[in-house]
Structure 1
Amino acid sequence: MAAVQSLVDKKKKTFIGLAAPLGYVPGLGRGATGFTTRSDIGPARDADDIPEERHAPPSKKKKDDEEEEEDLNDANYDEFEGYGGSICARDPYDKDDEEADEIYFSIDSRMDEKRKERREKRMKEELEKYRQERPKIQQQFSDLKRELSGVTLDEWTNLPEIGDARNKRMRNPRAERFTPMPDSVLSKNVHMGDTTTAVDLREQRFGGLTSPFPGSNTPASMLASMGSDIDMKKIGEARNALMDIKLTQVSDSVSGQTVVDPKGYLTDLQSMIPTRGADISDVKKARLLLKSVRETNPKHPPAWIASATLEEVTGKLQAARNLIMSGCEQCPKSENLWMEAIRLMPGDQARVVVAQAVRHLPQSVSIWMKAASLESNSNDKKIIFRKALENIPNSVALWKAAVELEDEEDARILLSRAVECCPSNVELWLALSRLETYENAKAVLNRARNQIPTDRQIWITAAKLEEANGNFSMVPKIIEKALTSLRASGVEINREQWLKDAEDAEKSHSVHTCRAIINNIIGIGMEDEEKKEAWMTDADSCAVHGAIECARAIYTHSLSVFPNKKNIWLAAAAFEKDYGSRESYELLLQKAVTHCPKVEVLWLMGAKSKWLAGDVSAARSILSLAFQANPNAEVIWLAAVKLESENNEFERARRLLQRARSNASTARVFLKSVKLEWCLGDIAKARILLQESVDLYPSFAKLWMMKGQIEEQEGNIEDVREIYKQGIQKCPESIPLWLLLSRVEEKAGLLIKARAVLEKARLKNPKNADLWLEAVKLENRAGLKSIALNLMAKALQECPDSGKLWAEAIFMEPRPQRKTKSADALKKCQHNAYVLLAAAKLIWSERKLDKAREWFKRTVKLDGDLGDAWAHFYKFELIHGSEVQQEEVKRQCLSAEPKHGELWCKVSKDIKNWRLKTEDILPLVAQLVPIPS
């Protein structure tokens, strides 16, 4: 062992486990050059400073020290912060650091905001220039895509296939080639599907045992014994299928009768005539099958009808007639068979066939009606119907047809006999009562009630009879008795049916019957809680249907049940104003104020009606009664002031306003007082009243506006600015005050101040479309279109559903893009009057006059209070319409009485026009309307 150990020690290298010498590079002697990293270089130092233990094996303590040192790897190196991140990053992040970061961030944001407008403008210009040079495919084809909406369905379906231009076969398609079918294949398929009932002799001779049916393994001897049964079964199935098809095409069974449309029937037969060999083969098979059916069961009428129809379809009309007559001989009691025979025969022969049919079927109503239709002379028809009624006296159809041919006296006689034969038919009784005298008609209706106690029409007819003869007091009694009798007979009273009967009675000018029905059935089957709403709905429904008296009766009954309901009185008054006379309207209002004296609007409606009729004294008396019932009502005081001022009684109006300021002091009373003095030219008194009013009601914005407008009229611009500023401090939510202040600054030439005012207003009142619109118009008036477009984009982002903004945005676009913008506006605000008006103006500018007129009608129908829409419509008719159309627009405008609109308010609110009415304001506003271009 010692020898072995000494041998190992000799072989062991002395440098194993020792540190490498200083500056050693492995493989240097074999040509390796070595490499140097940043960690080898490190900070600036000399090679002599390297410690001797640099390459020594690391001890545990040294290893821990290295973990605490910096990571000098390249991945941890930053160009600005060096190794291991920033020195500050090693310290904790406290509040001072957070505050410093916020300061730096705000400074950066502020600096970026200064350059933002210039940067965005430059980017927008570059983008527009780029889009002009390279427009999107969507922009290039946008007009063509809009025109696709007019492409019809046939044009879409007839579009050719695009194909693939890269495919040579698709670019140059070859003509299709058809190879003729060999004769052997045709001859092989001629008898395919035929039925064979006998075994071939050759097969019998040579002992063949296979069945002639393809695919069958039945021996020939078994087939011979059962072949007949199989044939009959298949023939029966084919017969039934064919007859079902033919009968479905030919006839329509209604309660045992066959009703045939000759014109349509012949048209269908014309289209069924076979033209190909396969059709002829099918006809032959069908003929054989039907022949088999007729021979098997000759008493089956549908087989004869189907056979005759088949011959008629194939054009063999005589064969069809012969077949159908043979069928009539075999089945003389078949009504359908005789009707088909009559149809197939010509005129004279048809009469002969009818005579035969009547002899065999004297109880058939259809045959008698057919016989009468073949005659052209009314006397012959009468003879036929009377003969028919001798055989069938209980046929209502025959009685009706016979009565229609007679004059009034003969018809009355026939109906007297008809009600005896058909006592359960209401129509015959009612027809007879209409032809009789008053006394006889009463007797007829009484007999009808005894015969048919469950029919309501008899009672209603009786009520109409009494009304027609002036017995109005009997009408409600008859209707009440009718309801009692019908309930006793177990009849359910259907409220909807009786309402329909009331409308029918009004259409027949039986007004008292209509009212009696309404009064007796309007509350049937309803709870007390739902009566009010249901009755208002019924009244509206009747008015829509044109049943004015029914609606008036419903309102009258409702007011008798609910005499103190304000809403019912208002609805009834509105109904009378639209559909009644002025006398009935004023009479209803008199009743209304008796039951509801505290409802101020009812007094005002009555006074206005008297005033419009020219009866000023009556209007004053109504208002005096209204003062007694409502001594402190502001609206009544103001109505009295308006009445006096409109009739040039200015001193009386001043005294009324003075009393109103003492008894019913409100902001509106002071407002009307100031306006009256302003209109009469007493500016000094108006200023005194204004100062008093703003001291009492500082939050009423209209007082500040009026005060500023008076000073502006006097030319005191500085005072105007201060007044508006004070008003804004008191009423920061008043948008008109902000707009007035901005316009004052704009008139003074201070565009920057005007912008600042509007920006501050938007901060106080966010998402307000009027402020954004004024800002856009301000820039447009200044000629800064790019800024206006930018503001409009922001406005539409903040107020995407504003019709005013969309309407303004349409005409800010270039002409080719306005139609697209209007389409977007209509998608966003489909039911906005401003957008519809802008669309109408756009169509007007394109000179599509009829279409523009329709859009103007839609606009004023949607919002009749928008005066600008009426002015544009009137200006349009003045240029392109007739005098009738102009007067119609003016009449509708007077009926709507518009109050709003930028141009409309500009004229109507002008103090010079304070006495002008709607018919005077409309032409003035129309003069301000520009013609769209």
Structure 2
Amino acid sequence: MIGRVPAPPGQKLDFNSLKAPANYVPGLGRGATGFVTRSDVGPARAGPGPGDGGGDNKEEGTEEVKFDAFMGADAGVFAGGEYDEDDREADRIWESIDDRMDERRRERREALMKAEIEKYRAENPKITEQFADLKRQLGEVSESEWEAIPEIGDYTIKRQKRETYAPAPDSLLTAAANASGATGGATALDVNGLATPAGSASSVASLTDIGEGRSTVLGLKLDSMADSVSGQTVIDPKGYLTDLSSMKITSATEVADIKKARLLLKSVITTNPHHGPGWIAAARLEELAGKLNVARELISKGCEQCPSAEDVWLEASRLQPPDLAKAVLARGVAHIPDSVKLWLAAARLERDKAAQGRVLRKALERLPTSVRLWKAAVELASADDARVLLSRAVECCPQHVELWLALARLESYDNAKKVLNKARQAVPTDPSIWITAAKLEESQGHIEMVGRVINRAIKSLSANGVVISREAWLAEAESAERASPPMTATCASIVRDVIGLGVEDEDRRRTWMADADEMGRKGSVETARAIYEVLQSTFPGKEEVWREAAKLEKAAGGGARLDALLRRAVTYCPSAEVLWLMAAKEKWLSGDVPGARGVLAEAFAANPDSEAIWLAAFKLEFENSEPERARALLAKARATEACSTPRVWMKSAIVEREAGDAAAERGLLEEGLRRHPAFWKLWLMLGQLEERQGRTDAARTAYAAGIKRCPECVPLWRAAARVEENAGAVGKARAVLEQARQRIPKRDDAAAARAELWLAAIRTEQRAGSSKAADTLLAKALQELPASGALWAEAIAAAPRPQRKTKSADALKRCDQDPAVVSAVAQLFWADRKVDKARAWFNRAALLAPEVGDYWALFYKFELAHGTPESAAEVARRAREREPRYGERWTRVAKDPRNAHQPVEALLKKVVVDIDTLPPP
């Protein structure tokens, strides 16, 4: 029996007094089921383990901690296990496997460790290793080199002991004075400076009085010296104070640095006294320290040690007064007579031009081949004297082209030609001589000679082995254009002769177009014009060439030159509709309406079936208040099978809408829809006509029919929803917009359309007063389209004022180049009164989307409020040049029949009023 304790011999064992064995369950043999609950064990009481003797000799709550050599302190947990021979055999096997695996990877691990150690030592060498090569080289240093190493002084960092002195207190000195006064052996100084016996009635009783007395005596002495002329020193109080204010107060740190630098430079000039920069540095250090006399002495010694260093002489002359500087430079010139710098410095020290000229002429006698001296002398001379000097200069320096060109500019036409010919013979490889000759011919009006000169230049330079650089010659053409006066013939001749150099035939048009565009961006109009002339003569049938040339002329001011260009363009490209329209528009803008009609008549003859030309002719008559002519043109176009297009029918309906004839407008729209049922603008116009007539059901029918034909047309969905909203059925409007979002596919190319629908739904809720529903829709919209600038702009506008900056930052992270976001940020700056930032951001929005009128209107409104009338007019001018056509508010104002034929400035002002009075559409 497990746990049974044998009874002593002769005694009966009392089983009831023994402790039950571990895991004993009463009645288990009779089929009873036993269990132990937490209340039996307790929260911190461990269960009994095998071999537990019942704990007779242990105190309650204590347990013996068991430790095993193999299992360590965990023996108490696994006390029931036994470590036998099988376990030892298993451990031996595993250890042999571990040793085998470790042996297999040891070589690789040691190699990797060795490589890492070598890499670390290569990147972080020891100090001894870094200077090992230098130490080896020390063995080659000779004894004389060792002796020549300068002493650098004492730079010890040890803290030097300082002696401190503490002044004696006044009480101690007073007591000593009183003690000495009792013996009568001391004297004191009264206020008059007379010695009297101490202890008398006039004796000084306090050291403070002594200090005051000394100050008074010193003041009396200074006053007497200032008033006396016969004294040793005469003090000027004002000058004295001025000298004190001009003194430089040097800190202790600067003094220490100057001392160190002085010591180092002294070592430099001592070890190598013939090194000029060392003397210059030492002199400048003393000058910096305020010791000008020492600096002069040093630089004088430098001149003696380095008589052939011109920089030392120049420094010496700089440190001396002007009169003494002349003497210094005279000595320098005596030592270095070929120094151009010294001669020029000596000339600059002279006060009048005549003296400077004498010095330079003397220098030229010594150095006749110095171009700098000749230039300096010519600059000081009059025109006649300069001509004489240059004549001599080109003889002495025939290879310097600048002298030849300067002489040619001073001569007459005939003499200049002779000078340039001599220059060309002396320097046959310089192109500037030929270009100057071409400019000379153009200045005399000999335009036909300019081309010949440039052509001969190219041939002559090529024959002399000069590489003709296309880019360099085009730069010369730009330079000729910017001359005063502009040398346009020279510019054009250069372009004609070099534009094709190094360009393959198949790349000519593309390369030349890029060159012309680059020149236009840089403002070199004449150069770009010359390139386009070459393009027009080489590719006369290319519409793109004529169109880009016309853009350049329009940007340059237009006028007769543009009209002549377009006339030539339509001659070479009669089927190019754009060129005909540009020609007609320029005539119209210049006020020549009959001329525009004539151009369009010629365009009709050349392109009888062109929709663009028919519509241009209609617009010309319509904008000039000729409705009957416009009707006739459109009727004729509708009768022509090739020109009966949807846009022609739309323009016809627009004419009747402006005339106020609703029946005629409805008839044209219905007929146009029968012919072109997929043109959504006709359905939209029909619905708008029914709304204006008050026929809501007919408008619903028109929009529904249009949506059925054009299910992805966002304007039709928005118009249908707006009809329901205006009728008071906001729920139906919500349903229409939700249905539209389901019908528009979720593609990248349809993101803008979906954003427009979300925006319409949000604004519908805002107009209905449901701000929470609007916020919910906006959050959903941004979740679906996180890169939509229109939605972020709406989020910025709808956010509470404290949160707008955060919204703006989030929007700029998502789409910083979107004009809607930029405009919203500009309005935020405007609200914060940050005028300059707001102006910059409004300008940026207008540049990002110049075709959107809403941004121009906001910019114009801002300038009216915070700018000047000139700045507001400038914004209006820029908007007129851009001719905006889009924008929610701009479209609402511009499409209103009451605003037909209004100029851009008038529409701009009306949109500003719309911003102030009406909510977004």
What secondary structure sits across from 1:473 in the alignment? helix
Output the CA distance in 2 between the equivalents of 1:273 and 1:341.
29
What secondary structure sits across from 2:33 in the alignment? coil
Which residue identity does 1:533 align to in structure 2?
Answer: R
Output the CA distance in 1 between the equivalents of 2:403 and 2:151.
46
Output the CA distance in 1 between the equivalents of 2:28 and 2:847.
104
1:870 aligned residue (848, 851, 856):
856
Q: 1:632 matched to which residue of 2?
A: 609
Q: 1:563 matched to which residue of 2?
A: 540
Give the 5 Å matches for 1:547-558: 547-558=524-535
Output the CA distance in 1 between the equivalents of 2:277 and 2:666.
104
Output the CA distance in 2 between the equivalents of 1:679 and 1:600.
28
Q: 2:376 matched to which residue of 1?
A: 401
In the TM superposition, residue 488 of structure 1 has moved relative to its aligned partner by 0.6
Output the CA distance in 1 between the equivalents of 2:909 and 2:772.
35
Output the CA distance in 1 between the equivalents of 2:323 and 2:27.
135
Q: 1:518 matched to which residue of 2?
A: 495
In the TM superposition, residue 316 of structure 1 has moved relative to its aligned partner by 5.9
Output the CA distance in 1 between the equivalents of 2:260 and 2:823.
71
Output the CA distance in 2 between the equivalents of 1:349 and 1:709.
97
2:796 aligned residue (804, 807, 810):
810
In the TM superposition, residue 331 of structure 1 has moved relative to its aligned partner by 5.4
Task: Say if 1:665 and 1:390 are closer, same or farther in 2 by CA, change over 3 A.
Answer: same
Output the CA distance in 1 between the equivalents of 2:817 and 2:681.
30
In the TM superposition, residue 814 of structure 1 has moved relative to its aligned partner by 1.1
Superimposed CA distance per residue, residues 709-729 of structure 1 (whole angstroms, 9 cap, x where no aligned partner): 112221111111111111111
Q: 2:776 matched to which residue of 1?
A: 790
Matched, 1:28 2:27: yes
Matched, 1:926 2:905: no
Q: 2:627 matched to which residue of 1?
A: 650
Task: Say if 1:234 and 1:709 are closer, same or farther in 2 by CA, change over 3 A.
Answer: same
Matched, 1:533 2:510: yes
Q: 1:167 matched to which residue of 2?
A: none
In the TM superposition, residue 733 of structure 1 has moved relative to its aligned partner by 1.2
What secondary structure sits across from 1:533 in the alignment? helix
Superimposed CA distance per residue, residues 680-721 of structure 1 (whole angstroms, 9 cap, x where no aligned partner): 222222222222211111111011111111122211111111
Matched, 1:914 2:889: no
Output the CA distance in 2 between the equivalents of 1:272 and 1:445.
64
In the TM superposition, residue 279 of structure 1 has moved relative to its aligned partner by 6.6
Output the CA distance in 1 between the equivalents of 2:344 and 2:397.
18
Q: 1:747 matched to which residue of 2?
A: 726
Task: Say if 1:640 and 1:327 are closer, same or farther in 2 by CA, change over 3 A.
Answer: closer
Q: Identity of counterpart residues, as a percentage? A: 49
In the TM superposition, residue 730 of structure 1 has moved relative to its aligned partner by 0.7
Output the CA distance in 1 between the equivalents of 2:548 and 2:264.
76
What secondary structure sits across from 2:916 in the alignment? coil
Q: 2:117 matched to which residue of 1?
A: none
Which residue identity does 2:332 align to in structure 1?
Answer: A
In the TM superposition, residue 537 of structure 1 has moved relative to its aligned partner by 2.2
In the TM superposition, residue 813 of structure 1 has moved relative to its aligned partner by 1.1
Q: 2:830 matched to which residue of 1?
A: 844
Q: 2:425 matched to which residue of 1?
A: 450
Task: Say if 1:811 and 1:32 are closer, same or farther in 2 by CA, change over 3 A.
Answer: same
Matched, 1:382 2:357: yes
In the TM superposition, residue 436 of structure 1 has moved relative to its aligned partner by 0.4
Task: Say if 1:464 and 1:730 are closer, same or farther in 2 by CA, change over 3 A.
Answer: same
In the TM superposition, residue 332 of structure 1 has moved relative to its aligned partner by 4.3
In the TM superposition, residue 432 of structure 1 has moved relative to its aligned partner by 0.4
Q: 2:593 matched to which residue of 1?
A: 616
Give the 5 Å matches for 1:388-467: 388-467=363-442
Where do 5+ consecutive residues of structure 2 fail to align?
A: 1-23, 37-138, 154-247, 746-750
Output the CA distance in 2 between the equivalents of 1:290 and 1:832.
67
**How many corresponding residue pairs?**
688
Task: Say if 1:738 and 1:384 are closer, same or farther in 2 by CA, change over 3 A.
Answer: same
In the TM superposition, residue 501 of structure 1 has moved relative to its aligned partner by 0.9
In the TM superposition, residue 459 of structure 1 has moved relative to its aligned partner by 0.6
In the TM superposition, residue 601 of structure 1 has moved relative to its aligned partner by 1.3
Preserved CA contact (<8 Å) 1:236 1:293: no
Output the CA distance in 2 between the equivalents of 1:854 and 1:863.
15
Which residue identity does 1:236 align to in structure 2?
Answer: A
Output the CA distance in 2 between the equivalents of 1:306 and 1:811.
66
Q: 2:235 matched to which residue of 1?
A: none
Q: 1:736 matched to which residue of 2?
A: 715
Q: 1:193 matched to which residue of 2?
A: none
Matched, 1:883 2:876: no
Preserved CA contact (<8 Å) 1:739 1:758: yes
Matched, 1:764 2:743: yes
Task: Say if 1:705 and 1:312 are closer, same or farther in 2 by CA, change over 3 A.
Answer: closer
Output the CA distance in 1 between the equivalents of 2:882 and 2:504.
38
Task: Say if 1:315 and 1:894 are closer, same or farther in 2 by CA, change over 3 A.
Answer: closer
Preserved CA contact (<8 Å) 1:728 1:737: yes
Preserved CA contact (<8 Å) 2:758 2:781: yes
Output the CA distance in 2 between the equivalents of 1:317 and 1:747.
92
Output the CA distance in 2 between the equivalents of 1:390 and 1:270.
50
840-849 or 607-616, larger mean C-alpha shift: 840-849
Output the CA distance in 1 between the equivalents of 2:392 and 2:525.
40
2:146 aligned residue (221, 231, 234):
234
Task: Say if 1:716 and 1:388 are closer, same or farther in 2 by CA, change over 3 A.
Answer: same
Superimposed CA distance per residue, residues 358-406 of structure 1 (whole angstroms, 9 cap, x where no aligned partner): 2332222122112112222211111110011001100001101111110
Matched, 1:585 2:551: no
Q: 1:829 matched to which residue of 2?
A: 815
Superimposed CA distance per residue, residues 291-346 of structure 1 (whole angstroms, 9 cap, x where no aligned partner): 4655xxxx676676677667767766555545554554565444444444434443
Output the CA distance in 2 between the equivalents of 1:333 and 1:36.
116
Task: Say if 1:584 and 1:36 are closer, same or farther in 2 by CA, change over 3 A.
Answer: same
Which residue identity does 2:361 align to in structure 1?
Answer: R
Matched, 1:671 2:627: no
Which residue identity does 1:703 align to in structure 2?
Answer: L
In the TM superposition, residue 798 of structure 1 has moved relative to its aligned partner by 1.5
Q: 2:106 matched to which residue of 1?
A: none
TM-score of the aligned structures, taking structure 2 as reference length: 0.70
Preserved CA contact (<8 Å) 1:897 1:918: yes
Output the CA distance in 1 between the equivalents of 2:579 and 2:476.
34
What secondary structure sits across from 1:800 in the alignment? coil
Preserved CA contact (<8 Å) 1:860 1:869: yes
Matched, 1:490 2:465: yes
Which residue identity does 2:913 align to in structure 1?
Answer: Q
Which residue identity does 1:757 align to in structure 2?
Answer: V
728-737 or 533-542, larger mean C-alpha shift: 533-542
Output the CA distance in 2 between the equivalents of 1:932 and 1:687.
29
Which residue identity does 1:405 align to in structure 2?
Answer: L
Output the CA distance in 1 between the equivalents of 2:281 and 2:820.
69
Superimposed CA distance per residue, residues 191-242 of structure 1 (whole angstroms, 9 cap, x where no aligned partner): xxxxxxxxxxxxxxxxxxxxxxxxxxxxxxxxxxx9x974x4234344999x
Which residue identity does 1:668 align to in structure 2?
Answer: R
Which residue identity does 2:705 align to in structure 1?
Answer: Q
Q: 1:712 matched to which residue of 2?
A: 691
Output the CA distance in 2 between the equivalents of 1:240 and 1:455.
56
Which residue identity does 1:735 align to in structure 2?
Answer: V
Output the CA distance in 2 between the equivalents of 1:638 and 1:302.
82
In the TM superposition, residue 790 of structure 1 has moved relative to its aligned partner by 0.8
Which residue identity does 1:795 align to in structure 2?
Answer: A
In the TM superposition, residue 615 of structure 1 has moved relative to its aligned partner by 1.8
What secondary structure sits across from 2:447 in the alignment? coil
Task: Say if 1:846 and 1:827 are closer, same or farther in 2 by CA, change over 3 A.
Answer: same
Q: 2:584 matched to which residue of 1?
A: 607
Preserved CA contact (<8 Å) 1:372 1:381: yes
Task: Say if 1:658 and 1:315 are closer, same or farther in 2 by CA, change over 3 A.
Answer: closer
Preserved CA contact (<8 Å) 1:460 1:479: yes
